[in-house]
Each structure stands twice: as C-alpha cells, then as structure tokens.
C-alpha cells in the first residue's frame, strides 16, 4: 500500500516539476514573442530550403539531360562512322 502511495506521489511530483519547468522556461525565454520570432525564422529557413531544393532539382535535371544527349550523340557518331566504313568497303 505504501509503495502505491509513493508511486502516485512520484508521478504527481514529476508532473509538477515538468509543468513548473515549462512555465519557467517560457517566463525566462520571453514567452510568445520569442516563439513568434522563432516561427518566423523557421518559416524563412523553410522557404529558402524549398527554393534551393527546387533550383537543385532543375539544375540536376538539366545536367542529366545534357549527359543523355551527349551519350546519344556519341552513339550516333559511332554509327555514322561504321556506316561510312561499310560504304567505303562496298
């Protein structure tokens, strides 16, 4: 019976410490003003990240297209040389 009372008392003490710690952190941290500034900073960083990722994706796609085009051009050039060699032999 005493162990149950100690367990419940510990839970109440833990909850009180958690709530008090949050209240103290909010009071010392500037409360809602600091949270609003943090949200603005976070939103700006997220917008910057999305813009940078969009640019990266576009540049990567262009690079991969350029590589594929060059590979296709190389294959066509090799085929043209083969056809020319064959035509000369005939």
Q: Are residues 59 and 83 in the same domain?
A: yes
Q: How many CB atoms lie within 10 A of CB 49?
A: 10
Distance of CA 29 to the CA centre of its chain: 28
The pLDDT profile of the chain, 90 residues, written as one tens digit per residue, is 778 888 888 888 888 888 887 777 777 766 677 778 888 999 999 999 999 999 999 999 999 999 999 999 999 988 887 878 777 777
Residues 11 and 37 in one domain: no
Residue 79's domain comprises: 31-90
Q: Residue with structure tokens 């032999």?
A: 89
Same domain, residue pair 18 and 35: no
pLDDT in tens, 56-68: 999 999 999 999 9
Same domain, 21 and 37: no
Whether residues 44 and 26 share a domain: the answer is no
């Amino acid at each position: 019976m005493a162990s149950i009372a100690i367990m419940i008392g510990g839970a109440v003490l833990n909850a009180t410490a958690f709530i008090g710690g949050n209240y103290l952190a909010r009071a010392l941290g500037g409360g809602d003003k600091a949270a609003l500034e943090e949200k603005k900073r976070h939103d700006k960083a997220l917008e910057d990240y999305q813009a940078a990722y969009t640019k990266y994706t576009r540049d990567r796609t262009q690079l991969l297209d350029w590589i594929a085009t060059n590979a296709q051009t190389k294959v066509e050039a090799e085929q043209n040389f083969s056809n020319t060699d064959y035509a000369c032999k005939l």
